[in-house]
Chain A
Amino acid sequence: GAVVSQHPSWVICKSGTSVKIECRSLDFQATTMFWYRQFPKQSLMLMATSNEGSKATYEQGVEKDKFLINHASLTLSTLTVTSAHPEDSSFYICSARGQPNTGELFFGEGSRLTVL
């Protein structure tokens, strides 16, 4: 099956710094990628939809200035958590939808962010 890779898998940073998480589709082109956030023992919450070459669409309640998303190529989307605070600590997961749209999404391994 198709592979989606996230990097880094785990990052610890100080409060106030910015952290960038990458999501790559390794063997297919992804016109659309999705970013989710998962709190411990909870379900995934969709944060935003990232479309190649255009601005991301954010879900209600998600701060676009806080969580910057860039989808500059068909194989890479990045999520930057700006001025991170301890409450931003979470597990961030991306998924990608390939061409043509089969309805199937492929998920990355997730990136665990810990803000001290």
Chain B
Amino acid sequence: GEDVEQSLFLSVREGDSSVINCTYTDSSSTYLYWYKQEPGAGLQLLTYIFSNMDMKQDQRLTVLLNKKDKHLSLRIADTQTGDSAIYFCAEIPRLGSSNTGKLIFGQGTTLQVKP
């Protein structure tokens, strides 16, 4: 079945790097996403990676994908207090030869950044 797992909480100090981890079960997923949700707000797409890539870097964000272990990580360099939020990883599983189009979300990781 489709399942995405994340650790629930991470606390870091301002200026440190944060690494948020995610595991997924559907090896045929084509897209894997990271979303950010601030309190009381909707979801903001941070970045996504195609399944044929191992790494993607976008300013302070680095996404690593280990397809063999079905492991996805998001690294935030020089973490700031404004990065405090809930981070969700998500996948779009495939049904047969087509994308299902629906996102399967992890439980979300609450990132707390201390000054």
Contacts and interface: CB of A to CB of B under 8 A. Distances in A.
A6 B42 CA distance: 10
A108 B42 CA distance: 6
A106 B45 contact: yes
A97 interface: yes
Nearest to A31: B101
A: contact size bracket:
20 to 34
Interface string A79-105: 000000000000001010100010111
B34 to A, nearest CB: 12
A34 B107 contact: no
Contacts of B68: none
A110 B105 CA distance: 16
Interface in B41-83: 41-45, 48, 50
A66 B92 CA distance: 26
Main secondary structure of the interface of A (DSSP, over half): strand
B: contact size bracket:
20 to 34
Interface in A34-67: 34, 42-44, 46, 49
Given A34-B102, A43-B88, A95-B103, A103 B45 contact: no
B48 to A, nearest CB: 7
A32 to B, nearest CB: 6
Contact of A43 (B42, B102, B106): B106
- Residue of B33, B42, B106, B107 ringed by the most chain A CB atoms within 10 A: B42
A38 to B, nearest CB: 9
A105 B107 CA distance: 18
Interface of B: 30-31, 33, 35, 40-45, 48, 50, 88, 92, 99, 101-108
6 contacts: A42-B108, A43-B107, A101-B101, A103-B30, A103-B31, A107-B45
